[in-house]
Amino acid sequence: MKPSESRIWEPQCECMDRAELEQLQLERLEATLTRVVRHVPFYRRRFEELGFDPDEFRSLEELRKLPFTTKADLRENHPYGLFAVPLRDVVRVHASSGTTGLSTAVGYTRNDMRTWSTLTARVLVAGGVTKEDVVQIGFDYGLFTGAFGLHQGAERLGASVVPVSSADARRQVGIMRDYRTTALVTTPSHALNVADAMIEMGVNPASLSLRHGLFGAEPWSESMRKEIEDKLEIVATDNYGLSEVMGPGVAGECLERSGLHLAEDHFVFEVIDPETLQPLPDGQVGELVITTLTKEAIPVVRYRTRDLTAILPDRCACGRTSRRMARVKGRTDDMLIVKGAKVFPSEIEAVLFEVEGIAPHYQVQVDREAGVDRVTVLVEVSESIFFDEMKRQRKLEETIVKRLAAELGVTVDVKLVGKKTLERSDGKARRVVDRRPRE
């Protein structure tokens, strides 16, 4: 295989002429609207209430007139209410990871499974993986889509898959060494745990075969990427997906690492202002909204992902013609209003990485006292600092408070905690604990 062939899995789709792509999107969108009206009572009712006749739908721009689908809609119709096919046509059921609140069921037909593995193969290839690679999957195998999604893609492209699941970090390192793993697929926070375990175990990353890391399922900063790359001596790429529209494979970085390529032949992407709900122009940060174009089991129209990003329209140097999305900045639900200022956990993370002597694990706790949001950032520090004299701890706390104030424009409280005291669920870090009363 020539290198140019290995870099792009489906050049006929990923490098499609834009006019051709728009025709394809329109055809698939019109067919999807016709199908949801016929097979999903929820959409039939929604469209009727709005007086929208899918036969009148004429252009991609008209998508903005259609109602959104939200997590609440999925929950109200749980488990199978939004399925557009009878259950006997469904060959797989997964659930959203439940990062926020209850999980909801999603289903896949045989064709959906084929599309899904093709799209995760695209992401893996974009991240540098070839059929020669040994791919270690460090996601939790189960209802969560991360593990199975990328597993299938890796098999599809012919790589050797090691399904370790979300085992503890030391075990990951052991297997990585023994099986000569070349690519690690997991969450960025788990990748850091693995890197730390490697140091604890005295394993020199240069002695391993590991070359690539494909991380997703939670937002992570550039500083975190640098830390992971330095510690594991790999090239790390970001990928994005959500089970509500499919799972991983929705978007992924190529080795240029300047945004995540969107699978625009299978989804339509929009960015809206989360407050006014109006579409935003390319380049502006807002909430990502996704409409599926080929999903058979659960087509979704204008799903509000609650992920904050921007669409980058300019051409990437890699040769793909797809537009890209910026790395996810955070979730709309994670956005905090502290004394009138908008604060994202990712901004806090970026600051923490620049402070010497602290571990990159943190948690943001939000309380409301007398109508005012009160934010406390818990930061894990190494034992040596934690058990050190109070004076040094104080000094570190002050440094972090000052840096955060300079970056965020507001003052938040900082509390140092011991290593590994913050909770980790399925290797997926819980970054924000919101204890404010719900309206």
Residue ranges in contact with other proteins by CB under 8 A: 20, 23-24, 26-28, 30-31, 34-35, 38, 55-59, 85, 88-89, 109-111, 114, 294, 296
User: In the complex, what is the shortest distance from the CB of residue 432 to other proteins, in angstroms, rounded to a whole number?
Assistant: 41
Q: Report the distance separating Cα 277 and Cα 332, nearest Å.
A: 12
For 65-116, what is the HEC assignment? HCCCECHHHHHHCCCCCCCCCCHHHCCEEEECCCCCCCCCEEEECHHHHHHH
In the complex, what is the shortest distance from the CB of residue 249 to other proteins, in angstroms, rounded to a whole number?
17
Distance CA 429, CA 423 (A): 7
CB atoms within 10 A of CB 64: 13
Nearer Cβ to other proteins (103/118): 118
**CA–CA gap between residue 341 and residue 404 (Å, rounded):** 13
Find the shortest distance in angstroms from Cβ 108 to other proteins.
12
Nearest distance, CB of residue 438 and other proteins, angstroms:
41
Give whichever of 31 and 378 is closer to other proteins, judged by the CB atom: 31
Q: In the complex with other proteins, which residue's Cβ is closer, 296 or 334?
A: 296
Half-sphere exposure of 142 (CA within 13 A, CB side): 11
CB of 111 or CB of 365, closer to other proteins: 111
Nearer to other proteins, 28 or 323 (CB): 28
The backbone torsions φ and ψ at residue 61, rounded to the nearest 5 degrees and listed phi first, read: -65, -25
* Residue 85, C-beta contacts closer than 8 angstroms, at least 6 positions apart: 39, 107, 109, 296, 297
CB closer to other proteins out of 247 and 299:
299
- Please report how close the Cβ of residue 294 comes to other proteins at its closest, in angstroms: 7
DSSP string, 215-283: EESS---HHHHHHHHHHHTSEEEEEEEETTTTEEEEEEE-TT-SSEEE-TTTEEEEEE-TTT--B--TT
Nearer to other proteins, 62 or 200 (CB): 62
Give me the least distance between CB of 25 and other proteins, in Å please: 10
Q: Whole-number minimum distance, CB 265 to other proteins, in Å?
A: 11
